[in-house]
């Protein structure tokens, strides 16, 4: 009887062991779920066309707004660089002036608008001449000194003036 009991106990242990082993190996394993792939669309910034004279007349109304301006290029300059209240480093930026829209018979720059462009970008346009038609988009980031301070994000030459070749006299 003792042998029967030991044999029964041994059979029960083996069956339980096999059953547990079977449970462990036959369980359905699911792969971890991956996050769905999302394709991000490029961010498009909206710029509102604005008149340069209106911006300089009311710089506070345009503060932190994205604007697009068509103008005639005047010259690259260092006007307004490194000015603490509206700081843009002269190492990273250069400024440029545009011609006033309200003066047609003279070349008068719109110095009340400080327009900053990254130096690396400006180097692409080193051959611009006075009067070349341009379009730039950017943010009016300050109204310090009652002036409009604009950081350019996009710059396009619309219509360069024809270049006059200089002839060399012999």
Residue 97 lies in a domain: yes
Q: What is the mean pLDDT of residues 4-29?
A: 58
Model confidence, pTM:
0.69
Residue 159: pLDDT band by 50, 70, 90 thresholds?
confident
Is residue 146 within 8 A of residue 153, CB to CB? The reply is no
* 38 domain residue, yes or no: no
Res 6: pLDDT: 59
CA atoms of 156 and 44, how far apart (whole Å): 17
Q: Residue 142's beta-bridge partner residues?
A: 149
31 within domain boundaries: no
> What secondary structure letter does DSSP report for 27?
S
Residue 116 domain-assigned? yes
The 10s digit of each residue's pLDDT in 3-16 is 665 556 555 665 65
The tally of domains found in the chain comes to: 1
Q: What is the CATH number of the domain that holds 56?
A: 2.40.50.140
Residue 167 lies in a domain: no
Structural domain range at position 57: 48-159
Determine, yes or no, domain membership for 36: no
> Of 25-29, 80-84, 108-112, which range is least confident?
25-29
Query: Is residue 10 assigned to a domain?
Result: no
Query: Which uninterrupted H or E stretch holds 154?
Result: strand 148-159
**Is the four-CA dihedral 146, 138, 70, 61 of positive or negative sign?**
negative
pLDDT tens digit sequence for 113-153: 999 999 999 999 999 999 999 999 999 999 999 999 999 99
Mean pLDDT confidence for 94-98? 98
């Amino acid at each position: 009887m003792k042998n029967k009991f030991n044999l029964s106990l041994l059979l029960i242990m083996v069956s339980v062991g096999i059953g547990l082993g079977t449970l462990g190996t036959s369980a359905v394993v699911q792969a971890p779920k991956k996050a769905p792939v999302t394709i991000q669309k490029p961010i498009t910034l909206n710029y509102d066309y604005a008149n340069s004279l209106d911006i300089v007349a009311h710089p506070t109304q345009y503060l932190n707004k994205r604007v697009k301006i068509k103008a005639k290029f005047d010259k690259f300059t260092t006007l307004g660089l490194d000015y603490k209240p509206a700081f843009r480093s002269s190492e990273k930026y250069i400024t440029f002036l545009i011609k006033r829209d309200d003066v047609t018979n003279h070349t008068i720059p719109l110095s009340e608008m400080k327009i900053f462009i990254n130096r690396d970008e400006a180097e692409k346009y080193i051959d611009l001449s006075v009067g070349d038609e341009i379009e730039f988009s950017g943010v009016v980031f300050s109204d310090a000194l009652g002036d409009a301070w604009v950081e350019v994000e996009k710059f396009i030459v619309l219509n360069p003036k024809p270049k006059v070749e200089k002839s060399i006299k012999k």
